[in-house]
Amino acid sequence: MQLGFVGTGTMGNPMARCLIEAGHRVTVHDLRREATSNLCDLGAGWADTPRATAQASEVVFTSLPGPAEVERAMVDPSTGILAGLKAGGACIDMTTNAPSVVRRIAEACRARGVEFLDAPVSGRPPGMTIMVGGQATTFARYRPLLEAMGRNIFYVGDTGAGCIAKLVTQYLGYTNFVTSLEGLLIAAKAGIDLGILAQIVPVSAGASRTFDNVPRSVLSGEFTAGGTLDIVAKDLHLACELAREVGAPAHLGSIADDVMKRAQAQGWGQRGFPIAARVLEAMAGVELRAAGVKYEGGYQEKDPRRGSP
């Protein structure tokens, strides 16, 4: 199949590669042409606009930073995907997007006879999870393309449902991250060894995949696990906005949202999101560090300092 891929950054690039390796003919576009060079080396074609990408494609994928970028790439009258995609084609947005935006884009697609799916992802291709919203018949038609990029494919419901599922998972993960940090700060201020606590939590009631990232990303002083602060802050803010729209409580989310915004105000947006721990450390007046922390790879010898009152 002739496919297009707009947005070949950290997530889009390996997804596009999966489609190429599955035997599809892929045309790519990114604002940074160098972000497509490895894909072009594998046989992808280059297009200088989203519209040109769509003109060469039956189905166009988008993987972009956020709602504004997707809407611009889709509906710009001169350079957008819908200006170039023929009726009968399809658009699949894999961005973590706002449900209200994807519904608006889906309506614009329908007006031009184009099918649309929102299909945000979690993890990394080819083993990632994909959450899909849109018409069930459209999902069934293009599921094989999604299976080329991900292992766990879920049809969630109507347009926007995929984005809702993704935002909820982000809300759970990042509020849990902030809560984990607060728990560690209590321990540090109370004077117990954080290295020992980091071994206790995974085999106790506090266990979670989110906490498992804390020893190697925060207690080590590396702050490198996961995506950038800007991306995580965007996702969490969208989740909090969704909660307000539907009238659901999101008290912990509001706190975590504030922590992420404070970290961005420090100029840390392009660093790994665990750097937000430094905001809470400053509030508590203690650093969360531990020597010889046990994590997935064994013991990691880093900063010898330990949090203390």
| Residues designated catalytic | 166
Tokens of 95: 């961005």
Please work out, in degrees rounded to the nearest 5, the angle formed at the alpha carbon of residue 14 by the alpha carbons of 2 and 174.
125
Nearest to 4 by CA among 71, 57, 79, 63: 57
Please name the residue that has the structure tokens 């970290």.
Answer: 263
DSSP lists the bridge partners of residue 155 as: 132
* CA atoms of 31 and 9, how far apart (whole Å): 10
- What 3-state DSSP class applies to 128? strand
Nearest-angstrom CA–CA distance, 10 and 64: 10
Collapse the DSSP code of 129 into the 3-class scheme (helix H, G, I; strand E, B; otherwise coil) and give the result.
strand
The span from the CA of 169 to the CA of 155, in Å, is 15
How would DSSP label each residue in 215-267? Answer: IIIIITS---SSSBHHHHHHHHHHHHHHHHHHT---HHHHHHHHHHHHHHHTT
Return d(Cα 16, Cα 182) in angstroms, integer.
39
